[in-house]
Structure 1
């Protein structure tokens, strides 16, 4: 069964299959921008999440116009999105791009996407019917009019929200039927360059970290998970005041003080700056 779906901070970019497209005319080269598409991840409770990325397309005309799609230069390949967390991103595309209005992006997956669970088992990722054409992500009509500019889009893939376990699945059932892929993806233009980072102690608490922009209504929520060293980082955050919440996902060893949920308020994020909130104790 073949199924397609769609799925982008600019630190430690691991170049996957980088392909450039050059214009033939000098005048066109002078007028064009460079478009980069990057992928980052808010992790989930898996050892690996591998997406079988087949192609990436952008839409340049009015919504619903089937002639508006343009295929970007990208070599089909599997990508383990859990390798791109805490400020790291994968560079998927770097291509000349004529100035204009970019309205949608679509990333199409092939049939070989899968997750590796904490149990070490491989589980195929299924997708609900009706998505054979891929998932289209709105870009709020981002304009690319500046000449000789490097324009970046970040696809922020939320693993924890995107992979759903079937309610009726039980151990012993077909492993191919356990998980559905229902992508939750935030599309961010890279002119949004605020961020925050920090550490937690003890690192063994492995908390989920939520940054909630409380200065707007309704509030925006961004999430990640601290790594095995206790470090975390969230990028591409809009400026504002945030509440940061920590939810341990592990249990303290017998005889140790238990881990606790912690909330920190009044965290200010400013564009072009990475706010370091230091260490947060969870015991």
Structure 2
């Protein structure tokens, strides 16, 4: 069997943990960020192994067909994956990065030359058509909400992606067929302290399992708690000592993945005089 090179795929950030997304306090949507993770899985085919050389993952805000505007979402080192290891619900993390929020038009999966298929114990190189050597473009067309984490699953259809060249050459060509699905894996809680406490900070927090997610209100009194999984939470607002205001809890705040839950204006009560 042909020896296949394996590489380590590394990124500038650790693997996706939605609870680690901590609040961004700006009330300017243009400054918001979202977290993207791309995973790959496979629908099985009649082969012993199918090796795919993933070199990079690029994203683009537009949907046009030109080659401008593509950006790598991480410091990606190449790796060769056996797609048949990714069946039966198994998937692998390809990329995980925080990016500016807004419209995401396309993703490009860049493949290298170390693609091969093993059939009946014999390894054959997989040739990639020249039109796809610059990367396989996949349409996303998803608006990324600030503070929300998104997971994209690239479902590689092996059965329809491997094409045997006509004639007796025995050559195999790779024509990737990939279905993309999107799942928002967290939501956002935001609100505003009114009136603003001049000269004093207010800490907003929620308890997510054993983790406390918190953020300070900004100069306009706006607070935002990012990366909150779907569920019902109590939001605790803790004014700085000396402000003369009492702690307040907003109960029963329902968070939906992929959405911003705005609890509106909250007025803090004065600390009762004994």
State the TM bucket, normalised to the shorter chain: 0.5 to 0.7
Cα RMSD (Å) of the superposition?
2.8
The offset of 1:21, in angstroms, is 4.7
Partner residue, 2:160: 161
Change (3 A) 1:87 1:116: same
Question: Normalising to structure 1: TM-score of the pair?
Answer: 0.54
- Does structure 2 conserve the Cα–Cα contact (< 8 Å) formed by 1:42 and 1:159? yes
| Maintained 8 Å contact 2:63/2:106 | no
Mapping 1:73-112, distance limit 5 Å? 73=74, 74-112=76-114
User: Which residue of 1 is the match for residue 58 of structure 2?
Assistant: 57
Contact 2:111 2:133 in 1 (8 A): no
Deviations along 1:168-214, one digit per CA (max 9) or x if unpaired, are 13xxx5xxx5211011110111259xxxxxxxxxxxxxxxxxxxxxx
- Asked whether the 8 Å contact 1:59–1:103 carries over to 2, the reply is yes
Indicate conservation of the 8 Å contact 1:18/1:94, yes or no.
Answer: no
TM-score by length of 2: 0.55
Matched positions, count? 167
2:159 partner SS: helix
Q: How far apart in 1 are the matches of 2:66 and 2:122?
A: 43
Asked if the contact 1:18/1:91 (under 8 Å) is kept, the reply is: no
* Structure 2, unaligned runs of 5 or more: 1-7, 15-23, 186-256, 258-274
Q: Which residue of 1 aligns with 2:117?
A: 115
Asked which structure has the greater CA Rg, the reply is: 2
| Residue number in structure 2 paired with 1:34 | 35
Distance (whole Å) between structure 2 residues aligned to residue 116 and residue 166 of structure 1: 15
Q: 1:88 is paired with a residue of what secondary structure?
A: coil
Residues 219-230 of structure 1 mapped to structure 2, 5 A cutoff: none
On the 8 A contact 1:62/1:68 being kept in 2, the answer is no
Q: CA deviation at 1:64?
A: 3.5
